[in-house]
Each structure stands twice: as structure tokens, then as C-alpha cells.
Amino acid sequence: MHTRIRKFNTRDTYPEQKLDNDLCQTVVARGSMVFVRGLALLMTKGAPIVGDDGLPQNFVAFGTGRLGGIPWPVVAAAFIFVIFAWVLHKTAFGTRVFATGGNREAAFLSGVPVRRVTLSVYVICGLTAGVAGVMLAARLQSGQPTAGEFYELSAIAAVVLGGAALQGGEGHLHKTMIGVLIMTVMTNSLNLMGVDSYWQRIAIGTVIVAAAAADQLRAKVNWLKSR
């Protein structure tokens, strides 16, 4: 059962309803992001939040402190990675996530609660994004209303560089971590070379487009081989 469900993939079939659902969810997600960012700017008037006496030291320590010489953000990231690597690749829920991402109709006909799985994935995504936001605020020692802009695009690029399929149904968390390291090294290298921040955005955008094009090409090659 585990192996058979993972074979359902949108590269074999592209139901119109699935494409419509994907488009709707993408639009809602992006629209919600813009709404919340605008709300944050409205509430803070675009100014950083630091408090009258600064942020509590216990909070700041979460972003700047160390555990056994290892920074807390690294410890938190490693812990989350281990947990979700196990969940995604070793549990029935992970199998259902792959099946739902690959082909909703096939997953539904196989008995997978598609809506529940989709909602759970969105909740988990929001939870981990919240943890990352707390760590970023603690590291910056302030609440920056503009912090995290374009991070979602870097995340997409890292995932695609790690071999995940944009159509869904395929991916490995450890390869995604490699994609994250590639993006981090590239960004740090551009900073060390003194490249202007505007050119850095162009470079990241180029990587995203190239990664998406490579994913589409790989999907087409795999589809042709399966014919």
C-alpha cells in the first residue's frame, strides 16, 4: 500500500479540477500573505517593535544563545528536521501527503482524506513559519514588520533545488536541506563579494526560474520515458 500510493503522480495525468484547486489555493495563500503583511505594517506603522526596555533576555537568547556551543536556531532547525523527516517518510500521514500532492483524485479514490491532509499540511507550514519568525525576531532583537520578505521565494527555490517536484508527489527532506544549504552559500557568497542587494534579488529570481524550468524538463523526460 505504501509503495502503490506513491506512484500516483500528476506527471501521468493532469485533471482540470486538480489544476483549478491548485490555482485557487495558490491565490488564497498569496493573497493572505499580502493581507497579513499589510496588517503588520498598519499596526506597527512600518516601525520596528523593540519595547520600552528592549525585548526580554530569555527571548533574545533563543536567537543569539547557544546550547553546548551550537546556536539555538541550528538546534531548533535540526530538531524540526528530524521530526518531520520521520513523519514524512516513515508514517502513514507522510504517505498520504505524497499521494495528495501527486494526484488528489487518485488519493481520494484510494481512501485518503484529502481535505484533512491538505488542511494539516497548511497548519504545519504555518506552525513552522511561526517558529522561524520567532527565531528571526529574537536574532534581530526586534520585531521588524518588513522582515522575511521574499523568503517564500527562497524557500521554493531551495525545495526545487533539492529535487522536489513542483507538481507534487515527489521529494525528500534531506535533499531539501541540501537545497537550503546551496541557497545559503549563494546568498552569503554574494554578500561577501559586496554584490548589491538588488542584484542579489535578480540572482535569486534567476535561480528560481532555472530550477522551475529544470523541474518541468525532468517531468517531461520522465513522462516520455513512461510512454
Q: Which residues of 138-158 are buried (b: 16+ CB within 10 A; e: fewer)?
A: bbbbbbbbeeeeeeeebbbbb
What was the pLDDT predicted at 195? 83
pLDDT recorded at residue 102: 81
Whole-number pLDDT of residue 21: 56
Res 82: pLDDT? 92
* Residue 117, C-beta contacts closer than 8 angstroms, at least 6 positions apart: 93, 96, 97, 100, 107
Q: What is the pLDDT along the chain (227 residues), one digit of tens a residue?
A: 444 444 444 444 444 444 445 557 778 878 888 898 888 888 888 788 776 566 778 888 888 888 888 888 888 889 999 999 999 888 999 899 988 888 888 888 888 898 899 889 989 988 998 888 888 888 888 888 888 777 887 888 888 888 787 777 777 888 888 888 888 888 888 888 888 878 888 887 888 788 778 777 877 777 777 77
Q: Which three cell numbers stand for residue 171?
A: 521529494
Could you tell me the pTM of the whole model? 0.73
- Per the CB < 8 A criterion, the answer to whether 208 and 157 are in contact is yes
* Cα angle value 167/22/14 (rounded, 5°): 55
Q: Taking CA 134 as the corner, what is the angle to CA 131 and CA 140, rounded to the nearest 5 degrees?
A: 140
How confident is the model at residue 10, as a pLDDT? Answer: 44
pLDDT confidence of residue 124: 92
